[in-house]
Amino acid sequence: MLNVTNILIILFLPFINFLILGLGSRSIKQPVSGTIATVSLLLAAGLSLMIGYQYFIVKGMVNGAFPPIELFRYPWMVFGSKLTIDMSLVLDPLTVMMLVVVTSVSAMVHLFSLGYMKGEERYTTYYAFLGLFTFSMLGLLLAGNLFQIYIFWELVGVSSFLLIGYYFSKPSAVAAAKKAFIVTRFADLGFLIGILILSFYGETLDIATLIQRLTAPAGSQSLAIQTAGWLGISALTWGLAMIFIGGAGKSAMFPLHIWLPDAMEGPTPVSALIHAATMVVAGVYLVARLFPIFQLSACILDLITYTGIFSAFFAAIIACTQTDIKRVLAYSTMSQIGYMMFSLGIARPEDHYLGYMASLFHLFTHAFFKSLLFLGAGAVIHMIHSNEMNKMGGLRKFMPVTHITFLIACLAIAGIFPFAGFFSKEEILLATYHANFPVFVIALCTSGLTAFYMFRLYFSIFWGKHQAHDPHHSEGTFTMKFPLMLLMLCTLVAGFLPFSSWIFQGDTHETSHINWKFSLVPLSLSTLGILIAAYFFRKPSSRVADTLMWMGGIYRISKNKFYIDEIYLWITQRVLFPLVGKPAAWVDKNIIDGTVNGVGNFVGSIYYFIRGMQSGKLQDYLLYFLAGIAAWMVYFIYIWK
């Protein structure tokens, strides 16, 4: 079962979708293309589940750990004698877990899109792009080579660009697509430099070898990278910081998060797949993948911790004030990824890397409930044809399935027992409590805020006053409801999986346990958040407006997302373009090109001078002739010997 053929089938099914549907985007008609793509993705998801079962249950642990299996390796490019980009397929616990998440969420999204995208003009192209994305994401996960990760990292970036810009005639969608690509590209620059630094000292691009070489305490490579440095910071720290910038860009960490809310311009199922469950957690995956190296530098771990907790808190505040339901979800995604990040940052050997396990556990559960939330939001948008909260209300009677599934997902993200989010969040908080108390306090507050803004969303959509909507729109087809129910099931079950015995760092691991005494505080905070949300939003009242009056400026700042977009805009429009681009263009036009033209004009002026002698008067020429003769005579008589 764990052979290369099956992995290749999983990897290339979406790619073949992309090729066939992309090339036949005008000849393959609507239901056919979607069905082909969905069926093949369901097949891939089934296969991944089988592989997960085989890897974790049947094959099991060897000497207390799950051994990585390298299935395939081909030297794709060779640089000199040391560095090689291998195209490889490696299975390890992290990969297998992500494989299951990506294929199953992708399959659900494919299925949901059958109904959601019905009637769209570029339906087939849409499925082609989904195929490209899924392929790239799987390639990223299966990579055993750092550069291979970078390659697929860029490819997921471009598929995200294509999908955000799916409604290409909408200027806001185009702008959002460009923004997403450019911001992540900027971060990728960091990633690339990080790769260059690490591979130069590690003398390899292979991840396993790199980890082994750099973590060997007395190895020549690890000594070299720790002693070399620049500006008083070691090369190791520089390299890791650069790689973290790459991860932070993809995972929308502050201050590189600005692309994520705008990315909601894409079709909603795309947001569910790319901007909630899979691509945005690639940064977390990257840090987890290289965790043994990250662990060598305490200051980078601190950087990760503080970036993560700040992003989590910051995004939660903004999420409370947004009115576009997808943007609320986008900020909540950013906040939850912040959780995963700081949880990785605080993982220490003392508690057997509990934070590491908790972070990935949260990644796992978050993928399900967040894609469920997005698909639910998609169903709502499909019905109302608007993203704005104030156009919604009282929908619980009209869309019962969506209502129930959405409620469960909200409970999960708020961390209420017994839904998936509760378990993973408990682990994170527990790990943080031991490692870093201030971070723990902020995380607790964030957790309360999360419950508040999610239930604000929930109550605004499904409760309150019902507003008239087009009676022709219904809750959607069965293909739209079925993924919701399936994901709800996952949300219910995922928390009870023995996750900690599958994915852990180091030699020993702690078994999952629920410490009820500890859980009391976060649980009650979450409940408080829900109650406050219910107080304000369950029924239309003047309470909201009164409170906003009271909040004043704070509300405005949060509503405008702390003006981060404006700062970026100012930097690009007021600094980069006029102060770098314009002068460069001016220099080129006037100084460099001016020099060339100047040389031309100089030659021209010589010509003007000389042509005056060419008067066309016969006598002038005679005179020159005579002068010439006279000169020669003088020369021959007086000078020439």
Cβ 214 vs Cβ 234: under 8 Å: no
Please give the Cα distance from 46 to 10 (Å, whole number): 9
- Cβ nearer to another protein, comparing 520 with 576: 576
- Output 69 or 175, the one with its CB closest to another protein: 175
- Please say which residue, 32 or 622, places its beta carbon nearer to another protein: 622
- Cα(368)–Cα(488) distance, integer angstroms: 8
Using the minimum distance from each CB to another protein, give the nearer residue, 247 or 376.
Answer: 247
126 and 117 Cβ atoms separated by less than 8 Å = yes
CB of residue 285 vs another protein: minimum separation in angstroms? 18
* Shortest Å distance, C-beta 248 to another protein: 15
Report the nearest approach of another protein to the CB of residue 268 (Å): 20
Integer Cα distance of 126 and 522 in angstroms: 41
Shortest approach of another protein to residue 154 CB, angstroms?
Answer: 5
80 or 553: CB nearest another protein: 80
Q: Which residues contact 136 (CB under 8 A, 6 or more apart)?
A: 152, 155, 156, 159
Shortest distance (Å) from residue 293 CB to another protein? 19
Minimum CB separation from another protein for residue 615, in Å?
7
Provide, rounded to whole angstroms, the least separation between the CB of residue 105 and another protein: 24
Other CB atoms within 10 A of residue 133 CB: 27
Residue with smaller CB distance to another protein, 135 or 254: 135
Token pair, residue 542, equals 């003047």
* Number of neighbours of residue 6 by Cβ within 10 angstroms: 17
Nearer to another protein, 117 or 316 (CB): 117
Between CA 218 and CA 102, with CA 356 as vertex, the angle to 5 degrees is 115
Residue numbers at the binding site for another protein (CB under 8 A): 25-26, 75-80, 83, 147, 150-152, 154-155, 158, 161, 165, 168-171, 173-175, 177-178, 181-182, 185-186, 189, 192-193, 196, 199-200, 230, 577, 580-582, 584-585, 587-588, 592-593, 595-596, 600, 611, 614-619, 622-623
Q: Which helix (H) or strand (E) holds 622?
A: helix 618-634
SS (H, E, C) 425-471: HHHHHHHHHHHCHHHHHHHHHHHHHHHHHHHHHHHHHHCCCCCCCCC
Is residue 533 within 8 A of residue 459, CB to CB? The reply is yes
Q: How far is the CB of 583 from another protein (least distance, A)?
A: 9
Q: How far apart are the C-alpha atoms of 207 and 202, rounded to whole Å?
A: 10
SS3 content of the chain, % helix, strand, coil (to 5): 75, 5, 20
Least distance between another protein and beta carbon 266 (Å) = 13
CB of 185 to another protein, least distance (A): 4
Radius of gyration of the chain (CA): 31
Nearer to another protein, 127 or 462 (CB): 127
* The token pair that represents 521 in the structure block: 């505080």
CB-based burial, 329-345: b 16+ in 10 Å, e otherwise: bbbbbbbbbbbbbbbbb
CB of 371 to another protein, least distance (A): 26
CB of 626 to another protein, least distance (A): 8
Q: Is residue 132 a contact partner of residue 15, using CB atoms and an 8 Å limit?
A: yes
Three-state DSSP class for residue 398? coil
CA 339 to chain centre: 15
Spatial CA neighbour of 351 closest among 437, 443, 444, 430 = 430
Smallest distance, another protein to C-beta of residue 340, A: 26
Q: Shortest distance, CB of residue 196 to another protein, whole angstroms?
A: 5
Query: Which tokens hold the place of 517?
Result: 């005494």
16 or 532, CB closer to another protein? Answer: 16
Do the strands 69-79 and 83-91 form a parallel or antiparallel pair, or are they unpaired? antiparallel
- Closer to another protein by CB, 75 or 438: give it: 75
Burial 77-114 (b: 16+ CB within 10 A, else e): eeeeeebbbbbbbbbbbbbbbbbbbbbbbbbbbbbbbb
- Cβ closest to another protein, residue 147 vs residue 364: 147
Give whole-number Cα distances, 500 to 303, 398, 455, 514, in Å.
Answer: 25, 40, 30, 12
**Strand (E) or helix (H) holding 596:** helix 593-611
Q: Which residue lies nearer to another protein by CB, 388 or 620?
A: 620
Q: How far is the CB of 611 from another protein (least distance, A)?
A: 5
Q: For the residues of 107-132, what is the DSSP string, one character each? A: HHHHHHHHHHTTT-TTHHHHHHHHHH
Q: Output 81 or 508, the one with its CB closest to another protein.
A: 81
Comparing CB distances to another protein, the nearer of 12 and 200 is 200
* 342 phi and psi angles, rounded to 5 deg: -70, -25
Place of tokens 């999204």: 109
Helix (H, G, I), strand (E, B) or coil at 77: strand
User: Between residues 545 and 596, which has the closer beta carbon with respect to another protein?
Assistant: 596
